Amino acid sequence: MRARVSGLMERARRDLTELVAMRSVADPRRFPAEECLRAAEWTADAFTEAGVPCKLYETPDGSQAVIGHRPGPEGAPTVLLYSHYDVQPPGDGWRTSPWELTERDGRWYGRGAADCKGNIVMHLTALRAAEPRVGVKIVIEGSEEQGTDGLERLLDQDPELFRADAIVIGDTGNLAVGVPTFTTCLRGQANVVVTVTTMRGALHSGMYGGAAPDALAALVHMLGTLRDAAGNTTVQGLPGDQRWDGAQYPLERFREDAGILDGVAVTGTGTIADMLWARPALTVLGIDCPPVAGSVAAVQPTARARLNLRIPPGIDPQDACEALAAHLKAAAPWHSRVEVEAESLGRPFLARTGGPAYSAMTAALTEAYGQKVVTRGQGGSIPLCGAFQGHFPDAEIMLMGVEEPRALIHAADESVDPSEIENLALAEAIFLQGPHRT
């Protein structure tokens, strides 16, 4: 099996080259919709050729999902393989074209090389190498990066299309290159927009400053109460002392991965893993106020901020949103008028481990990598995991993939280490070909 996968790696590179060249950003305002359709058709054809007949399904948000099914032998379980072909906009700062797969220092660079076209290629390579003894379903999403929940709504409409005993979510990554890793929990989120208003209009800071209530200063004060001096998130009503009991994230590796400047401290009083995966985390995403360039000497009557609150398993997103809104209103100085608009909610996810599928995949990963499998959390959210868990509570959901920290997903110079595609494809092929029976 290892030799078969190794022999397929040149084809994997050709596949990824073709996929990366497709500008499949699911935002027709900025990129041609034809690019997403081309990626969807390519993906459906590739999986069909690999032995799982696939076709396109239009989801309620207008995106095209690639879905297919190859039944297994009688009595065998069904395994669903998930990934997505849409990508983030490229942004600035690339050393080479984001739409051309480029090798540099042993890594393959290009938008989507890791997130998530590299995972599509991993699934394809596994299927080409294996002779599955299970039923196989393919679900490749077309608008995951836009968060428009098209696939979740299709799941609500036709759950039987997705029903499976084990679900492999190819959209996470190892703790480091060569360290086989399950992601066992995902933080949920609550996004809000807070608006502070104090006066009917702006006032001259020389004539009125000092007594006129400055809405921007009020907002700054409110935001300052959301973290303590050490950087811990301090939203009243939410716990902030949880601990992560899986694999740890070494401090120096985190500093390097995050690009933290020399002399600048990391935030929080827990371990890095505690802060990233086990506790709430508040981030200020943006502030509406006069920019420095062109600003005038005026007391501001209104200011606004967009906030992102990440929450670990065990906290309900609606409860978190209400706690954040109550905290902001209580923290407002000078009886300022405060409006808090809930923008989006996402449930956290906690995997059930220890079942037969997890045991089989753990053994396959150990064989492929030659070392013990570890577990980690992830600060990002994959709402589809919660949707799958809600519809199929008995299914084992396993999160893995090629997106280790050096991949720089969503950033310039995104890349993938081809050894991750190879080793994960080998593990998945071993898993699919294992002696599975219900």
Q: Give the active site residues.
A: 86, 144
CB 400 within 8 A of CB 378: no
Query: How far, in whole angstroms, is CA 412 from its chain's centroid?
Result: 17
- Please name every residue paired with 172 in a beta bridge, in sequence order, or none if there are none: none
The DSSP letter of residue 260 is P
Residues with Cβ within 8 Å of residue 49, at least 6 apart in sequence: none
In terms of DSSP bridges, do strands 203-204 and 135-141 run parallel, antiparallel, or are they unpaired?
unpaired
Please give the radius of gyration of the chain, using alpha carbons only, rounded to the nearest integer.
24
3-state helix, strand, coil in the chain (%, to 5): 35, 25, 40
* DSSP code string of 211-231: TB--HHHHHHHHHHTTB-TT-
SS3 189: strand
Distance CA 208, CA 418 (A): 63
Q: How far is CA 389 from CA 22, 112, 120, 394, in A?
A: 32, 26, 22, 8
Structure tokens at 323: 């706690």
Q: How far is CA 224 from CA 234, 260, 367, 387, in A?
A: 10, 21, 49, 35
Distance CA 209, CA 203 (A): 8
Closest CA to 120 of 94, 100, 142, 102: 142
